[in-house]
Structure 1
Amino acid sequence: MAEKDTISMQLVREALLQTCAPGAPSLAMLSRVGIDPAQLHEASARVPASAYAELWRLLARRCHDEFFCMDPRGLRTGSLAFLCRSSMTQPTLGAAIESALAFLGLMLEHLQPVLVRQQSLAEIVIGEPQEAPRRPFTYFTFWMIVHGVACWLAGRRIPILAIELRCDEPPFCDDYRVMFSENLQFGRPRTRMIFAADCLDLPLKRTPEELQRFLAEAPGNILVKYRDPASLARRIKASLRQLPAGEWPETEGQAQQLCISASTLRRRLAEEGQTYQGLKDSVRKELAIAWLAEDQVSFAEIADRLGFADSSSFYKAFRKWYGCNPGHYRTLIGQDQPERQTSHPD
């Protein structure tokens, strides 16, 4: 499990791969930002998120590219600032995302993103050349920029229902699941992020002063503030995923497993803005989304796995969670790679 406010050393190695020659140059770069070079090849080593953010800034200045030299054109220094400044003038989050994606599409050669709205679901689909997929780190860096800016514009985390990627699953994924979603699907026909479309209607009210503070703290604030926290809530959710929903303990039983009192459990979750019932509902949502991606699992079986009395109860709950029925979601994620055009609500 990822530790709070730290980043895997494996992501440090990914950042250095195309931006800094191996050997003395990369070791000097690490020492400059306070990362122990001796740990560079330790698979379990972790570094402070603040040090990783400083490394990002240093590499961006060194290469004049805020995208780790992972695209032939790249993102020249100042791209993030321009993206934020132009997007925050839009009236809604949906318009801001479209503006940001249009800018990224102009700047990057191999990644051409588009926002698609399909009833109650929205997706950002990355168009790219029909050749070998990019490195996982390339896709996740792109999602970190887009999702991080969207969360800042909205003033809150935008929940991600799923991320699908063309590439194979890398040997390290825990940090990506903490930052984005437990529901990561690899080896898919296209790369896309799926979230609830109602987020697109959120109004924007960011000020120039807030922008200045955001850019002064970037990208460290993106790495930490808007990710799922590696906290007590995350530990509890991980334990719930290991059990059938019918065997989930009540509050007292969960507290006993953690060797704390029920009142302490409630207090600590409240400090994180959570409740135990809310965590159980959250895991049900995650599992429902994951199982809907498996065509061979019927709606009745999903309902039973999640502890619902019948399929009808599951349908009602899913519509309450996401504003659409599970059949619509399964159809969306089961589509191959048709030609798409950006669409807007009527």
Structure 2
Amino acid sequence: MKLGDISVGMVELMGRAVSALGHDPQPLFGQYQLDDLKLRSPDARISIPRFMRLGHACIERFAIPWLGLEMGRQSSPGIHGLAGLVAQTAPDIRSACKAVTEFELLSSFNARGQSQFAIEQGEGVAHFYSISPYNAYNLFVVDSVLGGWVQMLRWLSGRDDLVKRLEFEFKAPHYLEHYDHYFSCELRFAAERNAVVLHDWALDLPSRHRCASTHQGLKQLAERELERVRLGLSFREVIERAIGPLLKGQTPTLDMIAHRLNMAPWTVRRRLNAEGISFQQVMNDTRRDLAVSYVRDTTLTLGEIAYLLGFGSTAAFQRAFKRWTGQAPGRFREEARLPK
């Protein structure tokens, strides 16, 4: 199981933001083999670790730690792919927010989770899943996602007052002063979640770009595409994707996974048996594959990786990793980074 991937549309957005900040991203993109042909491909994806390294490289090269904030400002419905177009033509703000999160899988997948939209005490909350622990490589991701949602709301409503509050899991960063240039609402750092909280009165506001017939057509297309994606997964892959978001700090049980999938535990077991594999095998293989990706493709410490994979201690993770790969994780990381 890989950490995830994302549409190259987000790379195009990154380039747009870098250019808006007065720099030329093309030489750097070339180093990552991201040419115009690939950026025009409707099905092209970039892995999550590679996307984060590219963003960090832009931040370092051009000294723009607030890159994600500018990405949010430069965002548009088309960047979100089919989900964005469904949202753009939706009748109201509530429906638009639901569309962006409901069809997110059509343009991105992350083993850590999926965005959600919910009503809490009358207020709309667009919730971006946790990607902690935070470091120089991933702060811009949260900035760009929340900023993009805010920009979407501006686009749909023609107003800048729909958002009541923005919540960020990470502590206020060193570029804190830049947030005031991009947002006009309350900001909460070191919060329990990453979220855009809308005023209760904002949910029923009509969209300026609503079109009932086009919306229904696009929504039906998105639903068919989402079903096609899901039907293309084996049941083992379905279980892997359910395990990933639940691993943080714990080892998910069969009952937990069954509950997440709204299935009976015996149904999960039976369907896995039909594919010739057990739940425990899927759990072990998922942890192993994610462990290799985390060690090879990220800068997370071994302790952080151990926590994200549900191990009780770093030592327990190191023993498991050596059993899986024949190497200690530190040595594996060193060799993976040697010039090929």
Q: TM-score, normalised by structure 2?
A: 0.39
Q: TM-score, normalised by structure 1?
A: 0.38
